[in-house]
Amino acid sequence: MKQKRTNSLSNIKVIQEEIVEEFEMFDDWMQRYEYMIELGKSLPLIDEQYKTEENIIKGCQSKVWVHADMQDGKVVFTADSDAIITKGIIAILIRVFSNQEPQAILDANTDFIDEIGLKEHLSPTRANGLVSMIKQLKMYALAYQTKVN
């Protein structure tokens, strides 16, 4: 358990590198978006009972619901969105952050977003609210971390 704990942050980095490598295979934006849409299909879907108003992330033009749970010291995220590009974006974030320890989630940076060519979505005014999504995932991590402490 102790061993795993220290590995969580490097796990996140490994997954981020994997994603960057996957996106490097594509030459143009269209293939990247198509892949993102594909990734959206693998999103661990939020249980219908959690698709509530409170679980909607504010600041997105489309609806994004996120639910978090603590399992064996790790935060497990599930989510859904009514827009498929947004679903792809949240799927990428969840692939990185789900099943990780709260402190690692809090410590992780999100530079990989830039590297996979989604930097344009990082603008805080951008309608899809990628920034809001990251913030929300980290908020959950912070809440669980506070509980652990």
Partner 1 sequence: MELSNLDIEKIRADFPILSRKVNGHPLVYFDNAATSQTPKAVIDAIVEYYEGYNANIHRGVHSLSQEATDAYEEARETIRAHFNAQKKEEIIFTSGTTHGINLVANGFASELKTGDEVIVSALEHHSNIVPWQMLCEKTGAQLKVIPMTESGELDIEAFEDLLNKNTKLVFVNHVSNALGTVNPIQKIITDAHQKGAAVLIDGAQAAPHIKADVQALDVDFYVVSGHKMCGPTGVGVLYGKEEWLNKLPPYQGGGEMIDQVTFEKTTYAGLPHKFEAGTPNICGGIAFGKAIDYLNEIGFETIAAYEHELLTYATAQLLEIEGVKIYGTSKEKTAVISFNIEGIHPYDIGTIIDKLGIAVRTGHHCAQPIMDYYKIPGTVRASFSFYNTKEEIDAFVQAVKRAKIMLS
Among residues 37, 56, 70, 142, the one that binds partner 1 under rule CB under 8 A? 37
Let me know if 122 is a catalytic residue: no
Does the protein bind partner 1 through residue 84 (CB under 8 A)? yes
Does the protein bind partner 1 through residue 6 (CB under 8 A)? no
Query: Residue 23's closest CA among 12, 10, 36?
Result: 36
Does the protein bind partner 1 through residue 20 (CB under 8 A)? no
Which helix H or strand E contains 90, and what residues bound it?
helix 84-97
| Closest CB to partner 1 among residues 11, 62 | 62
Among residues 6, 10, 61, 123, the one that binds partner 1 under rule CB under 8 A? 61
DSSP per residue over 66-82, as a string? EEEEEETTEEEEEEEES
Does the protein bind partner 1 through residue 56 (CB under 8 A)? no
Residue 78 φ/ψ, nearest 5 degrees: -130, 155
Nearest-angstrom CA–CA distance, 94 and 86: 12
Does the protein bind partner 1 through residue 62 (CB under 8 A)? yes
Q: Which of the ranges 65-73, 84-92, 107-115, 130-138 carries the binding residues for partner 1, by CB under 8 A?
A: 84-92
Nearest-angstrom CA–CA distance, 19 and 36: 11
Catalytic residue among 12, 60, 105, 116: 60
E strand map for 54-115: 64-71, 74-81
The residues that touch partner 1, with contacts defined as CB under 8 A, are: 29-30, 33-34, 37, 61-63, 82-86, 127-128
